[in-house]
Chains A and B, each alone.
Chain A
Amino acid sequence: GAGVSQSPSNKVTEKGKDVELRCDPISGHTALYWYRQSLGQGLEFLIYFQGNSAPDKSGLPSDRFSAERTGGSVSTLTIQRTQQEDSAVYLCASSVTQGVYEQYFGPGTRLTVT
């Protein structure tokens, strides 16, 4: 079946604009994770969903970042008033359920804030 997909693959935006990044997890996977990969910070966890609930938002770097998940499937990560330090590759992963199961990663969205 299809893997995790993310859109757009690349996004260039001006500082101060809002952006939305989309993740389509593997069908039937109830756990969904967002990570960020940047040169300065490496790979870091942002937020985790189990179903439509987000029990762990501890990695969101500021209140400009938010995420939601609807229907236990698609998730959207929104960054408001983007800053240059938000430039990174945003990765989404899904897992069959919460717990120590393999996380399957999408190809990522490369965000560049100019």
Chain B
Amino acid sequence: GNSVTQMEGPVTLSEEAFLTINCTYTATGYPSLFWYVQYPGEGLQLLLKATKADDKGSNKGFEATYRKETTSFHLEKGSVQVSDSAVYFCALAKGTASKLTFGTGTRLQVTL
């Protein structure tokens, strides 16, 4: 079946540091890939998505590129802020229903 593996956290960074959160997936065919974010006390929000190979999703300074050859969708940001502290979930969806299959989530803590 489909699955998503992402790096375990927590990840602790200083403000303005470079962020990478690794995500790899297993799926037949061509899934769509997503990053969702859960800020403290808030619900899940879509951060970015990519629907086909080599697509780059971007939002709020975050980027991720759909790499079919390595089945990866790593999340990057050049300079993190304290306000980026949250839990980040990588996910995939396939087919008509497009139910989401999530990774375990990575907690990011950014300090001054």
Contacts and interface: CB of A to CB of B under 8 A. Distances in A.
Interface of A: 4, 31, 33, 35, 42-45, 48, 50, 55-56, 59, 91, 93, 95, 98-108
Which of A55, A95, A102 has most B Cβ within 10 Å? A102
Interface of B: 32, 42-46, 49, 51, 89, 93, 96-105
B90 to A, nearest CB: 11
Contact of A108 (B43, B98, B100, B101): B43
A100 B98 contact: yes
20 contacts: A31-B98, A33-B99, A33-B100, A35-B100, A42-B105, A43-B100, A44-B102, A45-B101, A48-B99, A56-B97, A93-B44, A95-B98, A98-B98, A99-B98, A100-B49, A102-B46, A105-B43, A105-B45, A107-B43, A108-B43
